[in-house]
Structure 1
Amino acid sequence: MVVDDSDSSVGTWIHWVVWNIDPKTVTIESGSVPSGAIEGLTSFGNIGYGGPCPAGGAHRYIFKLFALDTSLELKYGAAYQELDQMMSGHILARAELVGRYERSSLW
């Protein structure tokens, strides 16, 4: 799964990269990683989920889920580009969920 902000002023901003999620997984609890799944590097420079914090206006946050025909041999902390390359030729299906978020003004 990849979560990104396509409306970032610096281009696509990666908020979460996680792979090898068990196909039987039906929910991911807040603050957790599915058992056996591996997280990668985000645009924040961290490993793990980085929540929305748009600089201005509403941004689209796209949750991209990929069904693969194999597990991926990627090291913990790999970047999205490595994941994308490893998934090539192994994607059976994909789904996307798009949410919009805008920080509220405190004034």
Structure 2
Amino acid sequence: MSLIITSPSFRHNGKIPARHTCDGSGTSPALSWSGVSEGTKSLVLIVDDPDAPDPSAPEMIWVHWVLYNLPPDITGLPEGIHAENLPAGTVQGINDWSRTGYGGPCPPVGNHRYFHRIYALNTVLPDRKNVTRTMLMEMMQAHVIAQAELVGLYQRQEPIR
């Protein structure tokens, strides 16, 4: 069985509801996963947008959420989860708003793709302060057993000016 990540809020390559974005309440979507490999010691969740700032000329990957050391026996996160409700041992990294926690989609122009990636690791990572996506990817290197992704799409009705 392979690792799979899903959400009851949107299907793969489907539209992310506004409640999970800056046009709504900005709450994190519920996420579920299954097929965690035997030997998994921790899970990593990264949500990012490779289409920033404009999908027709992307310049960067915008990071929306970074979580690591999620226990391998959990099967998901509920909608709108806050730091105090994260599973024991889970560490939050820094997103591109220079803070921890979920930051919902808020694209300035165009239809963006939001990748929700879950990684199964064969280790528990050290708890370092202010870990970014880039730092986490380096820490994970050579420890990924499996990974899965769920892509959601979002385009604002009114572009930011």
SS of match in other structure, 1:6: strand
Contact preservation (8 Å) 1:72, 1:86 = yes
Aligned to 2:62: 13
State yes or no: 1:55 paired with 2:105. no
Q: How far did 1:24 drift?
A: 1.5
SS of match in other structure, 1:74: coil
SS of match in other structure, 1:20: strand
Contact preservation (8 Å) 1:42, 1:79 = yes
Aligned to 2:10: none
The counterpart of 1:24, out of the listed 73, 83, 102, is 73
Cα RMSD, aligned residues only:
1.6
What's the TM-score once normalised by structure 2's chain length? 0.61
Larger radius of gyration between Structure 1 and Structure 2:
2
Note the residue ranges of structure 1 that are not aligned, 5 or more in a row: none
Identity percentage of aligned residues: 37
Q: How far did 1:25 drift?
A: 1.4
Q: How far did 1:37 drift?
A: 0.7
Aligned to 1:3: 47
Task: Output the amino acid matched with 1:73.
Answer: P
Structural mapping, 1:25-104, within 5 Å:
25-29=74-78, 30-33=80-83, 34-35=86-87, 36-104=89-157
Q: How far did 1:76 drift?
A: 3.8
Task: Output the amino acid matched with 1:47.
Answer: T
Task: Output the amino acid matched with 1:23.
Answer: P
Q: How far did 1:16 drift?
A: 0.5
Note the residue ranges of structure 2 that are not aligned, 5 or more in a row: 1-44, 54-58
Which portions of structure 1, spanning 4 or more consecutive aligned residues, are displaced by more than 2 angstroms?
31-34
Q: Which moved more, 1:71-80 or 1:39-48?
A: 71-80
Residues 54-98 of structure 1 show CA distances to partners (whole Å, capped at 9, x for unaligned) of 101210000111000000003242111211111001000000110
Q: How many residue pairs were aligned? A: 106
Task: Output the amino acid matched with 2:72.
Answer: P
